[in-house]
């Protein structure tokens, strides 16, 4: 009878020293295609699992667990005369370690800092985004059941659930990465997982200028907007860099201000010491207990915030956000999905009408014109780069129309020899309607100098 080696604490096998942590993968290097898995390999995996005490394994550091599993795989492979290479033995140990303390086949992708998005379309198809380009990987799951278990593990890590009765969930990983899961029967080909990875590298305006996302003049304008407590809406499509832009602008908020953030899945990376982070809650098994963004915005107004930051406005909470911007919470930010700054105004109006259908359109537009100062349009372009396309001032209301002026607009200028889009940011250099506010903070002339390029 084989003794359960994992039953002895704290070692999994006698005196097996843990190997050093594996080196980080090269940027953009995707996992190699796995070697063939035969019955012998699966039998070896099963024999190893019989020797593992899950409770002890869960308490060990990942590196120590991987090292002891390698020793155990090698020992059982020799005893059972399973003819597989040392490389395959190491791979089996690594996969088992990832299954026990990580997220299975997704673990190498989560550790690769060059990957910004991971998209799982069932157990056989996994795609990633690297530098703005989407490509398929060689990553595979052993079965639909393994994929489902990993999806449920992700949801359970933040106290949420996903199953046939609740097949949609938004959650986040311990490192802050945002996760969306669609579970069968809604997902026909197996569970679908979409992961927006948490950026470990803090992005600021200097880095965005160096990366070609904006010009120094645009960066200076947005810096002044943040310091003068202008209300800003950041607009763009999925994956266009809205959250990155909001994080960059939030770095300029004074450390003495009280900030309340409201998100479906917390992913903002504010550096200030006085931050209250609020996150929505879905319904429970009895269909009760849901806390929406609208509920949180209403509650935030009672928390004496200096600024309110909403990760993404997508429904009736738009009305409450406008109310907050209009009632002394200057310098508040939010993001919306829209294709242009003009479309962003229309979308905000439509979202307000979702919860305030009896409110006249003119009243809604008046609220928008008085609440929002600046709309920043960002986009992911066909070369994979993310850029600021427009910075527009919301001027006011003329008749039934919200009037706007472009502060900056990106002008396409062709491609370079590497296929990267070239262009420049042009401005009419108009004096903004909120110039008095800029002057109040002593930055009116700095705004005009940025527009003139001086």
Q: Residue 132: left if φ>0, alpha if ψ -120 to 50, beta else—which one?
A: left
Task: Return the CATH number of the domain spanning residue range 103-200.
Answer: 3.30.450.370
pLDDT of residue 7: 43
Phi, psi of 238, deg, nearest 5? -65, 130
| Equal CATH topology for 103-200 and 205-452 | no
Domain ranges (residues) in the chain: 1-101, 103-200, 205-452
Burial class (CB in 10 A: 0-12, 13-18, 19+), 239: middle
Per-residue pLDDT in tens (0 to 9) along the chain, 454 residues:
444 444 444 444 434 344 444 444 444 445 544 444 556 677 777 777 767 766 666 666 767 777 777 777 777 777 777 777 777 777 777 777 777 777 888 988 988 888 989 999 999 999 999 887 889 998 888 889 889 989 998 888 877 888 888 888 888 888 878 899 999 889 888 899 999 887 777 778 888 999 889 999 999 999 999 999 999 999 999 888 898 898 888 888 888 899 999 988 777 878 788 999 998 887 776 777 888 888 999 899 899 999 999 988 988 899 989 988 988 788 999 999 999 999 999 999 999 998 887 889 999 999 999 999 999 999 999 888 899 999 999 999 998 899 999 999 999 988 888 888 989 999 999 999 999 999 999 999 999 999 988 6
List of residues 6+ apart from 445 with CB closer than 8 A:
none
Q: Are 186 and 281 in contact (CB under 8 A)?
A: no
Q: Are 140 and 105 in contact (CB under 8 A)?
A: yes
pLDDT of residue 96: 75
Spell out the long-range contacts of 69-77 with Cβ–Cβ below 8 A and sequence spacing 24 or more. 69/12, 69/93, 69/96, 69/97, 70/19, 71/12, 71/13, 71/16, 72/5, 72/12, 72/13, 72/48, 73/44, 73/48, 75/13, 76/44, 76/47, 76/48, 76/51, 77/44
pLDDT of residue 24: 42
pLDDT of residue 370: 92
pLDDT of residue 38: 59
107, 7, 70, 93: CA torsion to nearest 10: -30
pLDDT of residue 39: 67
**Residue 416: closest CA among 137, 208, 212:** 212
At 424, list the tokens: 């420049």
Assigned superfamily of 205-452: P-loop containing nucleotide triphosphate hydrolases (3.40.50.300)
């Amino acid at each position: 009878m084989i003794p359960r080696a994992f039953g002895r604490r704290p070692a999994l096998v006698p005196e097996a020293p843990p190997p050093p942590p594996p080196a980080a993968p090269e940027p953009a290097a995707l996992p190699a295609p796995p070697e063939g898995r035969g019955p012998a390999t699966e039998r070896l995996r099963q024999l190893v699992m019989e020797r593992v005490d899950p409770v002890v394994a869960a308490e060990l550091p990942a590196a120590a667990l991987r090292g002891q599993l390698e020793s155990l795989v090698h020992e059982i492979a020799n005893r059972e005369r399973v003819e597989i290479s040392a490389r395959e033995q190491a791979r089996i140990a690594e996969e088992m370690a990832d299954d026990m303390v990580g997220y299975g086949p997704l673990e190498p992708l989560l550790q690769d800092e060059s990957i910004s998005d991971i998209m799982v379309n069932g157990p056989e198809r996994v795609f990633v985004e690297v530098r703005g380009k989407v490509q398929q990987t060689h990553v595979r799951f052993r079965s639909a059941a393994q994929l489902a278990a990993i999806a449920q593990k992700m949801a359970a890590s933040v106290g949420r659930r996903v199953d046939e009765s609740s097949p949609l969930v938004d959650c986040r990983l311990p490192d802050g990465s945002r996760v969306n899961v669609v579970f069968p029967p809604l997902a026909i080909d197996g569970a679908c997982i979409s992961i927006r990875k948490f950026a470990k590298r803090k992005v600021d305006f200097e880095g965005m200028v160096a990366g070609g996302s904006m010009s120094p003049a645009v960066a200076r304008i947005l810096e002044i907007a943040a310091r003068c407590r202008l209300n800003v809406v950041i607009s763009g499509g999925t994956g266009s860099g809205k959250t990155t832009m909001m994080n960059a602008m939030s770095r300029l908020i004074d450390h003495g201000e009280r900030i309340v953030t409201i998100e479906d899945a917390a992913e903002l990376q504010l550096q200030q010491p006085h931050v209250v982070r609020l996150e929505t809650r879905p319904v429970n098994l009895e269909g009760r207990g849901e806390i929406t963004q609208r509920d949180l915005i209403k509650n935030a107004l009672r928390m004496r915030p200096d600024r309110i930051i909403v990760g993404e406005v997508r429904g009736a909470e738009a009305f409450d956000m406008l109310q907050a911007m209009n009632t002394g919470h200057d310098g508040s930010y939010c993001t919306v999905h829209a294709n242009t700054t003009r479309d962003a105004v229309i979308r905000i109006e439509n979202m307000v009408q979702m919860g305030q259908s009896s409110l006249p359109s003119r009243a809604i537009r008046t609220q928008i014109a008085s609440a929002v100062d600046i709309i920043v349009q960002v986009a992911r372009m066909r070369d994979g780069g993310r850029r600021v396309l427009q910075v527009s001032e919301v001027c006011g209301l003329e008749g039934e129309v919200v009037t706007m002026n472009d502060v900056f607009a990106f002008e396409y200028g062709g491609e370079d020899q590497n296929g990267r889009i070239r262009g420049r940011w042009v401005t009419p250099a108009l004096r903004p309607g909120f110039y008095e506010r800029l002057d109040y903070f002593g930055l009116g002339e700095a705004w005009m100098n940025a527009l003139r390029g001086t």
